[in-house]
Structure 1
Amino acid sequence: MNLITKVILLIFFLIAPIFIIYIYSNQKSTQVVEEQINIANQNRVSHFLSAIEDTMEQVSVYANIVTKDPDFAELAAGAVPENGYDYSLMIGTIERKLGLFSLSTSWMNRISVYFPALDLAVSSQTPIAYNEKELADNLRKGTSWTLRNVQVSGITKRVFTRYFVGPSAAAATDLSKSSIVVEVDLMENNITMLLDSFKTNGNNDPFFYKASGEYVPNSSSDEPMVREIIQSKSLGSDGSHKNIVKLRNKQYLIYALTSDKLGWTLVDYVPLEDILAPVTRSKHLFYLTSGLLLLFGVIAAFLLYVHVQVPIRSLTQSVFHFKRGEFSTRVTTKQNRDFQLLVTQFNEMAAQIQHLIEKVYLSDIRAKEASMKQLQSQINPHFLYNSLAFIVSMAKMNRTQPIVSMAHSLADYYRYTTRNDRMITTVRDELAFVTSYAEVMNWQLGKIRCETHVPESMLHEAIPRLLIQPIVENAIVHGLEPKVEDGSIRITGEEEQGWRRIIVEDDGVGMPPSEVEELQERLAKQKLPERSCGLWNVHMRLRYHFGEGSGIIVEAAASGGLRITLQWLKQETAVHVYE
């Protein structure tokens, strides 16, 4: 487990208990808030309904006062003045008294008195006509408060109406037995104003409702919503209750309280999210703060990873590469100033170690060159014996032409290898030597063809001696000699942007792709391969003679064999390590 993972886990374990405690406390707080709000709203609804009941009962008291008034009682008893003037005077007095009753309260109401025996009707507002059939129909509906339409000054209005019949309760079912009927009309606007005052004290939207489907909204009520609540069957016919209903993709908390005196239900509803808005805001603020803390923690962990973990990992990997012998390894990634000094010191140390190792290796190369000069003066017994055996064989067969050609090629070969004056030659001389060697091998094997195509401008380039011949020798010994059919070697030259390339390609048996890849990787890392030491030696000589970027590239040839590319910088810009 790396450092960044540990830091993130530490941040998580530090924040997790806070989340758990907060979620628990938030649930408890929400429960307490809901309970307190429910109690407060239920009390408000109950108090407001009681106020409506008391006010309507106060209006009903006027009916008892009317029935006990002497003037009303006299008419109810049938004592009508015979004199028309006195009769008009009595009716005027009764109307004024009814008007006083209507003005004694701030509510908009109307009181009408019916005298069935006299076919007489008197009202506190505009004069009304006595209609016995209509009055009987209204009495059959009961004497409790009902909502109906009436005409007031030619305008249709909805009113709450209640009837009081004298002298006994039996008269309510038989109009002929009644002496007086008092009709109290309470305008719907009065209830609407009460609902408005109730709404002003909160964020609710109350309305008055009866089980039959009738309702009285407040002046700013959302009536489509009211109808949806009624249709949702969430309102009981009586009693007190609360319910949560989902309407319009929102949850609403509904409070309902039914009046036993009026038979109507006061309903109040409010979005549940509005009730819990303070708690919700607090929860969102906590989540936002926690999220920011977590984000800052992750950013801090990431910065720690970038500025500490990455430099340490880069240094560690460089040390491992250096340990495996890759002495050209350097830390090249950009580091912060805290690690820059350490990285600089590491790179300087690596450069010094590489320089020392290269110096030692260069001394070894020079020692090998000295040994090679000595060995070049000696004859390769195996190569010489094979060549002489070929000459003897041709002589026995009296074939003078192969003997002459072999002798000339062999002479050119040994003339080149036995020159010890200097280790630098030209591409032209090296190719001539390679051609002589290929001809000798072809006379021995009889199946080798060597082609050379090098631009004239490259032939004068100075290169170390015996640079191309080991490549051609490897191609013949490991590629063409095991092949049953004839084989060919093609040597070409290229020039590109200051670079020189000699490409040796054969169509021999080649190498498996995995071995080719492994060989190229070892050459690139300057690691001595288990085989093809001649290639590695040529590669290192090119690097030390011409500098960084020079060396050998090993590839599989399209013909099935190998394609070996020797590349170096042109002589004018080359870095000469030794001559």
Structure 2
Amino acid sequence: MNKLRRFYLNHLKRKMFNKIILIYSAVMMVLFLIAAVMVYQYQVQRIIREESDANLKTAQVLSIYLNRQYENIQTLVQQIYGDAALSDDLIYFLNHRYEDYLGHRLHLFSRPGEQRVQSFSSVLKSYLEQNPGASGVTIFSYPKDFYMQIRPQSQQLKYENGSKPDWESWFSERKHYGWDTMNRYGPFLDAAVNASSGTYSYFRELQDPWTLEKVGMMMAEFDAGQLSAWLKTRAPDVRGRILVMSSRGTVIYDSEETGGYAGQTYPYLHQLDNTEKWIPLDEMSKVNVLSVGNAELSVVGIVSKSSIHDSTVRLRNTLIVVTLLFVTASFLVTFTVMRKHSKKIQRIIRSMSRIGEGDLSVRIQMPGEDELQQISVRVNDMCERLELYIDKMYTSEIRQKHAELVALQSQIQPHFLYNTLESIRMRAHTSGAKEVGQMIYNLSVMFRSMVKKDTIVTVQEEIELCSIYLDLFRIRYEGRLAVGIELDREIGGCRITKLLIQPIVENYIVHGFRSLESDNEISLSAVREEERIVITVADNGKGIPAGRLEEIRRMLSAPSQPSGVGGSSIGLINVHERIRMNYGEDYGVTVCSEEGKGTVVRVRIPILREGFM
């Protein structure tokens, strides 16, 4: 007693999940034992319902197909009677000899300005082409005792080969019963029409729309094999037997391949009214009867007891085995497996919640080698990779880019200051005070701009700095340097990284300026092109040799090389790298040059107003 009490306290009272498992298992076992005797009868009734429902669904599928066939025929007749030219063509054909009909058609075609009139036979052929289930259409003429058979690939005119009273009796029967099988046509039609029991037909009497006189009959023939093909595609699991019967009980289709009633009058026709109980047919069976719209057809589904018996035998044997296994093993398996896995799942859920809150240091410790353990390994690996990725791709890379930017900016050494000071010294010995004063003023302006800690200036300030720089050299070389500057006022206030243009101008002075020539020219222009600022520095200096130009272009198009590119020199590569660091890979520097004729350098940056950087 004490052991039971301790077990209850340790494993049930204080652990709700264990109580749920125990109660669930106990209730399930008790209910299963009580219901074991009743299950067999219940399952038998379920199988009967399933078989009957499946049979009914199959009958519905076939009913839809037959109703579509019937509607297509009615649409065909309405098309002919709805078109005055087509109906006149058909009535003329039925009331005249075929030779006269052909002459009539030729006469219509020969009329000047007369539009071509479509014939009824072309409409019938179009109907056959659009309806694969229809194998042919036959038109009978009452006044002239002939009929025309129209197939998808052929058309034949034939005359009646039976006695007149027999034909009239046969036509009279067709008027009252529109659907029939082809093997009930007797000796009146030849072998081409009297095909086999695998074909059924629909009859429709034709009349003159003006006089309402009965002048003929139309017979549409259908291939019963298309019904089987339709069932295979729409209801591949056919349960029971399917019959299609006309209003007088003639079976025009039987799903049984052998021993069927196709072409015969169904002997149990009057017993099909009771669809709720078992009725004696060939054997005790349940039936489903569906009417096909207004087509005067019925689809009958039959489920026999013998087809259900095989399923019930298998059910009984299976039920006995399942009952024994469930009673002996359900409690142990349910308790041990569910409790073990539920603990693992709860552990994973708690860990995933912490990860969702941003704690990537979580690691799930899961014993075993099942799927839950594999999930835990994948989650742990994901956390490690995320931590490495964040550290590498964000923190480390941002620090590296910042260091590279500082290094690049520090590489820009103002070499021009030495040249300028030398020019001032020489001018002080050889010239008057005005020019020296101007040069000293320009140099002081440049010093003030260089000493500023701001790394972002306006486009106008950057252009003015270049203009002051060029003025120093223009004064130094006494008219041997012409400077042209053009600035679009719309972009003058846009933001730009400091000292992007001055190194390009300095490259011209150091490498392109011809000190012995008097026609040196350099021009600066800053214009807007769509959402970009394009700054162009063009000169007529020495130019760049083809080999060196190709090397420069290759370096400009290569991926970013933030460290050590261009050595200690101030060059285009450093400017290009600074632009790409600050604005992205879509912007930068392009160079065009021809040795001995000059160089054109274009700088492209985005339009950034004040406050963007």
Query: What TM-score does the superposition give when structure 2 sets the normalisation length?
Result: 0.36
Greater relative contact order (Cα 8 A, min sep 6): structure 1 or 2?
Answer: 2
Query: What TM-score does the superposition give when structure 1 sets the normalisation length?
Result: 0.38
